[in-house]
């Protein structure tokens, strides 16, 4: 069986790594002052599929709002791929956090993006 390929497959674009702000270094030096950013692998850029929106869960910082670890919604990239057109997530109302949880978890409906495909 041949796998069906999507006609509108978004292309990958390079964006500045949000977690290290493009420096390529681990911002919290958890491992060592010289350790490379675990998100971008040290090159300061990450590949994200287009179109994408800023991660609402971490506010685009790539850093989990309740810890100093990578954001679990965007995996530290600061942006999340969402198919257009988008609309504000009806569950979290654009905040990206699970309203039923303890606010340390990304919204399960939008995955933390704050918007969903309309």
Site residues (CB under 5 A) for Zn ion?
17, 19-20, 37, 39-40, 55, 57-58, 71, 73-74, 89, 91-92, 107, 109-110
CB of 84 vs Zn ion, minimal distance in Å? 17
Q: How far is the CB of 56 from Zn ion (least distance, A)?
A: 8
Which of 10, 42 has the CB closer to Zn ion?
42
Name the token pair of 105.
């978890």
Rounded to 5°, angle at Cα 20 from 18 and 23: 115
| Closer residue to Zn ion, CB minimum distance, 3 or 21 | 21
How far is 105 from 7, CA to CA, in rounded Å? 33
CB of 78 to Zn ion, least distance (A): 6
| DSSP track, 8-50 | TPPPEEEEE-TTTTTS-B-TT-SS-TTPBPTTTTTSSEEEEES
* CA distance linking residue 20 with residue 56, whole number of Å: 18
Choose between 1 and 114: whose C-beta lies nearer to Zn ion: 114
Give the residue with the Cβ less far from Zn ion, 10 or 45: 45
- Least distance (Å) from Zn ion to the CB of residue 107? 3
Alpha helix (H) residue ranges in 16-104:
none
């Amino acid at each position: 069986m041949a796998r069906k390929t999507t006609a509108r497959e978004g292309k990958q674009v390079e964006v500045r790594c949000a977690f290290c702000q493009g420096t390529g270094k681990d911002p919290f030096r958890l491992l060592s002052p010289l350790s490379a950013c675990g998100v971008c692998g040290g090159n300061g850029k990450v590949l994200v599929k287009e179109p994408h929106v800023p991660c609402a869960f971490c506010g685009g910082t790539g850093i989990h709002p309740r810890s100093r670890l990578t954001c679990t919604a965007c995996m530290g990239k600061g942006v999340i791929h969402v198919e257009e057109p988008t609309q504000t997530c009806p569950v979290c109302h654009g905040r990206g956090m699970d309203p039923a949880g303890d606010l340390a978890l990304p919204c399960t409906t939008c995955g933390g993006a704050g918007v969903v495909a309309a």
